[in-house]
Amino acid sequence: YAMLLSLIFLIVLVAAVVGFVFRHEIKTNFESNLNLALRDYNVTADRHSEAVDTIQRTLHCCGVQNYSDWEKTEYFTQRGIPQSCCKNQDDCSEGDLKDPSKAKLKVFVDGCFFLVTSTMESKMSVVAGISFGIACFQLIGIVLACCLSQYITNNQYEMV
């Protein structure tokens, strides 16, 4: 049991170190994937489009860097900026969303990339604290399992 806990502890430790070392590559990869999701955005309910809509509604943002990123997409030429960018869903018409100057007043202007990364970085202390707590419990479990093993080995029970 102690060996299994030690193995899990080492795997989590390696994952944390790799995540910390490659955090800039993770950001770059996220930005490129967000750009791809915008480029391939469509009305049908595929999971990438749903993820973009959820991010935009939840964080009150639009596009990758700003709302004008949508102007470079095929979706914009057909339907304008998506409804998920609207500040007020009742006040956004499709005509307003097709005109960038009108849309600027009705949609969130901030980009999602900065908001997602800043939200993740602001929550890192909470994640690190929880991870540290779990690691402490794992280490205590390893020590107690080793103590139990030692106790069982040292105390031979009489056969009846």
CATH class, domain 1-158, is: mainly alpha
Q: Of residues 43 and 50, which shows the higher confidence score?
A: 50
Mean pLDDT of 139-144: 93
Among the listed residues 76, 67, 73, 79, the one whose alpha carbon sits nearest the alpha carbon of residue 105 = 67
The pTM of the full predicted model, rounded to 2 decimals, is 0.68
User: Could you tell me the two tokens for 7?
Assistant: 């193995």
Q: What integer pLDDT is reported at residue 158 of this predicted model?
A: 54
In sequence order, what are the residues at sequence separation of 6 or more whose Cβ sits closer than 8 angstroms to the Cβ of residue 154? Answer: none
Q: Which of 128, 127, 144 is nearest to 5 (CA)?
A: 144
pLDDT digits (tens, 9 = 90+) for 46-105: 788 888 889 999 999 998 999 888 988 888 888 888 888 998 888 888 888 888 888 888
Cα separation, 140 vs 152, in Å, equals 18
Helix (H) or strand (E) holding 98: helix 94-98
Reported as a pLDDT band with limits 50, 70 and 90, residue 140 is very high
Single-letter code of the amino acid located at 2 = A
As a whole number, the mean pLDDT across the chain is 86
Confidence of residue 139 (pLDDT cuts 50, 70, 90): very high
Taking residue 9's Cβ as centre, other Cβ atoms within 10 Å add up to: 16
Position 154 scores a pLDDT of 79
